[in-house]
Amino acid sequence: MITTTEAGRTYCVTGDKVPIVNADLNAAVDLAQQDAIGEGEHGVLVTRHGPACFTVAVSAEVPYGITQERERA
């Protein structure tokens, strides 16, 4: 499931089935990349909070044109 926490900037992905989480994660990354391209200043940061909980966000921490991943325990 993809939920938007900040329109055009932050998406949360959660679920209980790996294939669905993977598909939703890819869709959220695509959305965030489109948002980042529209802004032309930042990249995309994918943060794993748990086995099936991710945040995908347009982030000033990431250079334009780059998608980075990090894990948060």
pLDDT > 70? residue 43:
yes
Beta strands at 67-71 and 42-50: parallel, antiparallel or unpaired: parallel
pLDDT > 70? residue 73:
no
Name the residue ranges covered by the structural domains of the chain. Answer: 2-71
> pTM for the full model?
0.91
Instruction: Give the position of tokens 């329109």.
Output: 7
pLDDT band at 28 (very low <50, low <70, confident <90, very high): very high
Strand partners, 57: 10, 45
Report the C-alpha gap between 37 and 46 in whole angstroms: 16
